[in-house]
Structure 1
Amino acid sequence: MKKNLPLAILSGLLLWIAWPPTPYTTFLLFIGFVPMLLAMENIIQSTSAKKGKLIFNTAFIGFFVWNVGSVYWVYNALKQVGNVAAIPVTLIPYSLGPLLMATACWLYYRLRLLTGRGWGLAGLVCLWIGYEYLHQSWDLNFPWMTLGNGFAVSHQWIQWYEYTGVYGGTIWIWLVNILAFLIYVGLREAQTKQLRLKLISGFVLAVVLPIGFSLYTYYNYTEQSNPSNIVAVQPNIDPYEKEGTIPTATQIDIMVNLSKGIAQPNTEFILWPETAIPDYIDEDRIQQNPYYRQAHAFLHSYKNGNLVTGAETYKLYNTRKTVTASPTQQPGVYADSFSTALNIENGDKVQFYHKSRLVPGAESLPFGKALSFLKPVFEHLGGATGAYGSQADADVFYSQSGIGVDPVICYESIFGGYIARSVKKGAQFIAIITNDGWWENTSGKDQHLDYAKLRAIETRRWVAQSANTGISAFINQRGDVVQQTKWWTKTAIKQDINLNSDLTFYVMHGDYLPVAGSGIAVLLILFIIIKPWVKKKPVTA
């Protein structure tokens, strides 16, 4: 353990240094896992007892270093309230990912006991993809550290994400690291010159060919001209003063004035950030709500204008219609609360989208009643108390002129397959409304913007992002940030974007790579369980 622990920590440090938003160090992703693979190989080849436990512990420590270094900013929301009881909740993003990563490495060790090194390493890639897909699909989802996200600051290298999504990046990183590992261990295992040359050639080609194809695509990509004028507003309202300290009418006035200062007569969409209207609105009586009327009134100057804004809304039921509905003070009446995106037009029509990918703990209570005792802690994470309702799937807002926009609320922007489904339904550009102020001036807001570039490439759609106190921006179909605001600045920006209706291979087929990889991972786990039992079973005549 003593000689292998530094190798694991080195892997964690290399991956952290390579991770967004750090520029110019992305190449370290290609060797970041090599020390970890060497540490596991040393343990496998050693005479130590309890090799599986050693591999798990070693891998966990290395990956813990990587995760904490990359998402340290999660703690900032807890620091604001100073609640010591809330501190253990940070262990969910800090430790859960490393636990799953270490489990994939432990399963790799178990597979190595039954197969050779080559098959074991191939299986490790599938087991890792299985962990990543699980971590974006279950109640404790947090796909922030999906390996393919690591290329977000070097988006010129991964234009082929329009075919594979971020999981193509995960496979690429593991392929190159495995080849580098095999080249290194070959030096101490008297590897033949012919095999070494093949591995070196494979390593070079595995790096150069994808980058070469991507750069060719990047510099030859041309957007079809189909312009639409979009405005993104950044009101810069302290998230801890949004509810109660600053009157809602005053907040709306700020956004109205920022919008009027930059919008044009032909502006088609104006974006306000997540929870821009913080007071709860009854969806069935929205036309009578004074804050809705205030927001709606300023659109009269824009004939084709649509306002996409975040809001807190609720619906009342006479029965417990959904699993998230809660009883109200009125007997027999239940209510669902939502983090909502509204599309408000010049007419009376209002479109609703209820945030579907909720933040575990802050907006949804993972595993329902089993973790209900944590509700008082979760409420300090900057959202609801794990009580939001949601809708089942992605949706599209349509303007009166027929333009389709994908309303994406904050955390949802890191789910590539989810956004692809909205684009497949007809979205011609992506509108991200977010807050990002909970984490203060840390790399959290920068990573969030960087990941939005990946969505632009996967779908070949412009991304317009309106952030409350984060970074607002426009990103073109190649993933270039064409325009962005500064942190903690009250402003608005506008951009003529090109709408796109063509569907990429990834949009058409979704997360086919992790589905296939997860299927193989399940088969490998069954093989690990059944194979030793079959060997022990006596043969009968």
Structure 2
Amino acid sequence: MRNNYLLAIGSAVLLWLAWPPIPYTSVLLFVAFVPLLIAVEQVIRGDYKNKGRKIFGLAFLTGVIWNTASIYWVYNSMNAVLNAFASLMIALIPFTLAPLLMALAFRGYYQMRKRNNILLSFMGLISFWIAYEFLHQSWELAFPWMTLGNGFANFHQLIQWYSVTGVYGGTVWIWIANVLIFLWYWQKREKIQVYRQSVLLGIIAAWIVLPAGISILQYQSYEEHVNPSEIVTVQPNIDPYGKWGSITPEQQLKTLTDLSQKVAKLNTEFFIWPETAISGSNGINEEEFRDYPQYYKLLEFLEPYHNGNILSGIESYVIYNDQRTTTAREVGNMFYDSFNAAVLVDGSSKLQFYHKSKLVPGVEKLPFGEALAVMKPLFQHFGGTTGGYGSQDEASVFYSASGIGAAPVICYESIWGNYVASYIRKGAQFIAVITNDGWWGNTSGKDQHLMYAKLRAIENRRWVVRSANTGISAFINQKGDIVQKSSWWVPTALSQEINLNENLTFYTKYSDLIVYLSFVTSLLSIGLIVVRKKKISKISPTD
């Protein structure tokens, strides 16, 4: 088994090397699973006991090493707001939970191999894998950071067709390439030819080259419809560790307005400020925001910009007479919800709020809150919040007085392709990602987060304006090109004329159709595992 473990580690290393932010290495994804598939095949054909457990262990080993090496920075972000023990416990969710689900997909593949031919079994493996990825973006412990299709964020010229398929199209592209290359290698090594080697090579070449070629042609020929709007994005560089001590809300607001004025033009229509940029000593009461000194400062700042709007992160709360939500906390005879929110302020008295929907498990919300309510005191002891943040159920779009629709996407939410697409279906003409990546430190986390925004631009053919407190702030065009970006940990503001877009891509209209298809094939695969008698293929041995 030692050789098999080395092969599993080899797959993990290839996956890590292929992952953003290393530029242009994503082509390694086409072969990254081949060593693991070889190891699994050797277990299936070998004289081992408990083969299913061994295959599960090999896949889990690959997943743990790959995930930990790629997203090691998760511990930094948790440690910023929780104590060391709680940080480690929560960091184990992405480090180990996703690999467990990956390993279950391989366990299901082994069960299929005992009863079906190898091609049908591989169909099951790919279906199980996509089902795992979708589950991991949909449940209470959601963390879709490592969805396979995200791996092409560092080589976006190859995946312009994400405007049709989304990132799950990338997952299918990667997996089928790995399966075909494995079949070719295994037949060559074992000197068998169930499938003609020349035909396999032709299929491999076509499967990889044709989508890449089509994408490059799309990239070169795509032209944006001219519909200009002048936008400013601001990076105030407020140290998140000292935000509530070394700098007052008034000082923070002055930093934002001063930076904005340095690059603003009279026709600037939107000023994009980062997550939690507007705050008070105890947050901002949304119902009374117009009475706060900060609000009058905002109106004063906007006076020279007749069509100007401020789209900013805000720490806010809402007070209720009764407990209307499961996250509401009681104070005296009242209840309140705290929100990681966004607000749109214009020259009128109108205010628009959006409450972050996709909350970070363990930091912004207690997973399975109602079921685990008994654990709230323990969670609080370890440094978390007892109730978590409140949220809203679906995306909402901010509209300026001139009718421009902006998608207020807060930090972690930018990882969900289908969720961001829901803003576009509601009329958003550009995407504003507001975030505070300073919690992660100068790690690859901030770079990955930036690159994933390129995928949202391609899927929806919308400009992405990114405002990150400590970096990296950027403008990304509809092809996924980073047109401008800031440096890390440098206070600055950037100005750019972007093109608004009202057209909907196929992906925007229909979202993750590949997932729904995979659910069907997953159910069929489970049915084949349960009901079919053992049938051995030419290339598949008995257990």
The TM tier, using the shorter chain, reads over 0.9
- Secondary structure of the residue aligned to 1:353 is strand
Q: 1:308 maps to which residue?
A: 311
Distance in 1 of aligned mates of 2:326 and 2:527: 34
Match of 2:327 in 1: 324
Aligned partner of 1:42 in structure 2 is 42
Shift in CA distance, 310/385, structure 1 to aligned 2, threshold 3 Å = farther
In structure 1, what is the Cα distance between the partners aligned to 2:436 and 2:460?
A: 23
**In 2 relative to 1, CA 325–42 (structure 1 residues): closer, same or farther, beyond 3 Å?**
same
In 1: Cα distance, 2:376 partner to 2:43 partner = 39
1:304-359 alpha-carbon deviations (Å, 9 max, x no partner)? 0000000111111112111221212x22x211111110000100000011101111
Q: Distance in 1 between matches of 2:285 and 2:533?
A: 60
Amino acid at match of 2:312: T
> Residues of 2 paired with 1:448 and 1:296: CA distance?
32
- In structure 1, the partner of 2:286 is 283
Given that 1:363 and 1:385 are in contact with CA atoms closer than 8 Å, whether structure 2 keeps it comes out as: no
Q: What's the CA shift string for 1:452-502, capped at 9, x where partnerless? A: 000000000000000101200000000000000000000000100000000
2:455 counterpart SS class:
helix
Q: CA separation in 2, counterparts of 1:242 and 1:379?
A: 23
- Counterpart position of 1:392: 393
Q: Which residue of structure 1 aligns with residue 5 of structure 2? A: 5
Query: Match of 1:43, as an amino acid?
Result: V
Please say if residues 275 and 411 of structure 2, whose CA atoms lie closer than 8 Å, have aligned partners that are also in contact. yes
Question: CA deviation digits over 1:80-134, x for unaligned, max 9?
Answer: 5662353222111111111110111111111111111110011111000000000
Matched, 1:356 2:347: no
Correspondence 1:499 to 2:500: yes
Contact 1:426 1:501 in 2 (8 A): yes
Q: Report if the CA contact (8 A) 1:229-1:495 is conserved.
A: yes
Q: Determine helix, strand or coil for the equivalent of 1:465.
A: strand
More off after superposition, 480-489 vs 506-515: 506-515
Query: 1:115 is aligned with what amino acid?
Result: N
1:66-105 → structure 2 map (5 Å cutoff): 66-79=66-79, 83-105=84-106
Alignment of 1:187-202 (within 5 A): 187-192=188-193, 195-202=196-203
Letter matched to residue 42 of structure 1: Q
Comparing 166-175 and 506-515, the one that deviates more: 506-515
- Which of 194-203 and 53-62 deviates more? 194-203
State the distance in 2 between where 1:434 and 1:523 align: 41
- 5 Å-filtered alignment, 1:60-209, equals 60-79=60-79, 83-192=84-193, 195-209=196-210
SS at match of 1:497: strand
Paired AA for residue 316 in structure 1: I
Distance 1:270 1:408 in 2: 15
Q: Deviations over 1:114-163 (max 9, x none)?
A: 11111001111100000000000000000000000000010000000000
| Structure 1 residue 281: Cα displacement | 1.0
Asked if structure 2 preserves the Cα contact closer than 8 Å seen for 1:5 and 1:58, the reply is: yes
**Residue 77 of structure 1: CA displacement?**
3.0
SS state at 1:277 partner: coil
Partner of 1:536: none
Number of the residue aligned with 2:538? none
- Cα distance in 1 for partners of 2:175, 2:377 equals 38
| Equivalent position of 1:402 in the other structure | 403
Match of 1:519 in 2: 520
Instruction: Give the whole-Å Cα distance in 2 for the aligned partners of 1:490 and 1:308.
Output: 18
Moved more, 94-103 or 511-520: 511-520
Report deviation, 1:364: 1.3
Change (3 A) 1:108 1:78: same
Contact 1:133 1:518 (C-alpha < 8 Å) held by counterparts: no
Residue 290 of structure 1: how far off its partner (Å): 2.0
- Contact 1:360–1:386 (CA under 8 A) maintained in structure 2: no
1:11/1:35 contact within 8 Å kept? yes
Task: Indicate conservation of the 8 Å contact 2:85/2:382, yes or no.
Answer: no
How far, CA to CA, are the matches of 2:115 and 2:231 in structure 1?
A: 58
Give the 3 Å change call, closer, same or farther, for CA 351–23 of structure 1 in structure 2.
Answer: same
SS of residue matched to 1:3: helix
What is the SS of the residue equivalent to 1:348?
A: coil
In structure 2, distance between residues paired with 1:156 and 1:283: 43
Moved more, 452-461 or 83-92: 83-92
What TM-score do the two structures reach when normalised by structure 1?
0.95
Query: Aligned residues, how many?
Result: 530
The 8 Å contact of residues 362 and 378 in structure 1, kept in 2 or not, is answered as: no
Secondary structure of the 2:74 match is helix
Cα distance in 2, alignment partners of residues 462 and 375 from structure 1: 43
The aligned counterpart of 1:53 is 53
Instruction: Give the root-mean-square deviation of aligned CA atoms.
Output: 1.8
8 A Cα contact 2:75 2:87, kept in partner: no
- Tell me the distance in 2 between the aligned counterparts of 1:378 and 1:443: 29
Instruction: Measure how far apart 1:277 and its partner are.
Output: 1.4
Q: Identify if the C-alpha distance between structure 1 residues 453 and 337 changes in structure 2 by more than 3 Å, giving closer, same or farther.
A: same
- The 8 Å contact of residues 417 and 510 in structure 1, kept in 2 or not, is answered as yes
- The residue number in structure 1 matching 2:539 is none
> Which moved further from structure 2: 340-349 or 514-523?
514-523
Q: Which amino acid aligns with 1:437?
A: G
Pick closer, same or farther for the CA change 1:288–1:129 going to 2, 3 Å: same
Matched, 1:299 2:299: no
Call closer, same or farther: CA 1:507–1:380 in 2, change over 3 Å: farther
- What residue is the counterpart of 1:437 in the other structure? 438
Q: Point out where structure 2 has 5 or more consecutive residues left out of the alignment.
A: 535-543
Letter in 1 for 2:199: K
Structural mapping, 1:427-466, within 5 Å: 427-466=428-467
| Percent of paired sites with the same residue | 52
In structure 2, C-alpha distance between the alignment counterparts of 1:327 and 1:193, rounded to whole Å: 68
Q: How far, CA to CA, are the matches of 2:192 and 2:173 in structure 1? A: 24
Displacement of 1:530 after TM fit? Answer: 4.5
The aligned amino acid for 1:63 is G
Does the aligned pair in 1 maintain the 2:14–2:29 contact within 8 Å? yes
Please tell me the residue identity of whatever aligns with 2:299: H
Question: Structure 1 residue 336 and structure 2 residue 337: aligned?
Answer: yes
For 2:274 and 2:109, locate their aligned partners in 1 and report how far apart those are by CA, in whole Å.
Answer: 44
The TM-score with structure 2 as length reference comes to 0.94
SS of 1:174's equivalent in the other structure is helix
Distance in 2 between the 1:468 and 1:379 partners?
29
Over 3 Å counting, the alpha-carbon distance change for 1:385 and 1:181 in structure 2 is farther
CA distance in 2, matches of 1:134, 1:193: 35
Does 2:248 match 1:247?
yes
Q: Which runs of 5+ in 1 are unaligned?
A: 534-541
Match of 1:539 in 2: none
Farther off after superposition, 46-55 or 130-139? 46-55
The structural deviation recorded for 1:377 is: 5.3
Cα separation, partners in 2 of 1:187 and 1:30, compared to 1, 3 Å: same
Q: For residues 187 and 378 of structure 1, do their structure 2 counterparts lie closer, same or farther at Cα, with a shift above 3 Å needed?
A: farther
Give the secondary structure class of the aligned counterpart of 2:66: helix
Post-superposition shift, 1:439? 0.4
**Native 8 Å contact 1:242 1:278 kept in 2:** no
* Amino acid in the other structure paired with 2:187: G
